[in-house]
Amino acid sequence: MTGPTGSEPRSPAVQVAWADAREALRERGLRWTPQRRLILEVLAETSGHITGAELVERCRARDGATIGSTVYRTLDVLEELGYVRHSHGSDGREEYHVLPLAEHAHVRCLGCGAAWDLSWEDARELAERLEARNGFKVALGHVMIGGYCPGCEPAAP
């Protein structure tokens, strides 16, 4: 694991990665709209994970006219472009992982809800094993490991 993720502002070095989003869209014949600009802005200030509903709410805070379905559809587009990656939290809600510089697996505590990224070594080992034994190609962005961190205990059985 590489440490818990939160929602602190991104470093300037990382922010630039969003700068070419408009370019990336245009290259694919997609369009740059005020709605997408707003969503990108909010995402650029987000680090770690964010749920779909949270993103809708933060966008709505800046522009009361924000429409939920537009946000979700934009998220789909951004995922295709590689800017976000989504999975599902333990409650089944969409959870978007922002700017996956390297795709990685998620580890989540079922007790306190904290989330980490699986360390690269652990991930690689898991992936190599499954591929070698079964020819199964692991998609690290789609791996969720639930459990309990030190301090959090499973509910009594």
Partner DNA sequence: GTTGTTCTTGCGAGACATTGCAATAACAAG
Partner DNA sequence: CTTGTTATTGCAATGTCTCGCAAGAACAAC
Binding site for DNA (CB under 7 A): 22, 25-26, 29-36, 51-53, 56, 65-70, 72-74, 77, 91-94
> How far apart are CB 126 and DNA at their closest, in Å?
26
Per CB under 8 A, 33 contacts its own copies: no
What is the per-residue DSSP string for 75-126? HHHHHHHTSEEEEE-TTS-EEEEE--SS---EEEETTT--EEEPPHHHHHHH
> How far apart are CB 63 and DNA at their closest, in Å?
8
Helix axes 68-81, 52-62, angle to 10 degrees: 120
d(CA 154, CA 56): 32
Per CB under 8 A, 67 contacts its own copies: no
Structural Rg of the chain based on CA atoms: 17
> How far apart are CB 73 and its own copies at their closest, in Å?
16
> How far apart are CB 23 and its own copies at their closest, in Å?
17
Per CB under 8 A, 147 contacts its own copies: yes
The amino acid sitting at 118 is: L
**142 with 88: CB under 8 angstroms?**
no
Scan for tokens 């922010």, then name that residue. Answer: 15
Q: Looking only at residues 111 through 140 of this chain, which bind its own copies when binding is defined by CB under 8 A?
A: 119, 122, 125-126, 129-130, 133-139
Which residues contact its own copies by CB under 8 A?
A: 1, 82, 88-90, 92-94, 107-110, 119, 122, 125-126, 129-130, 133-139, 141-150, 154, 157
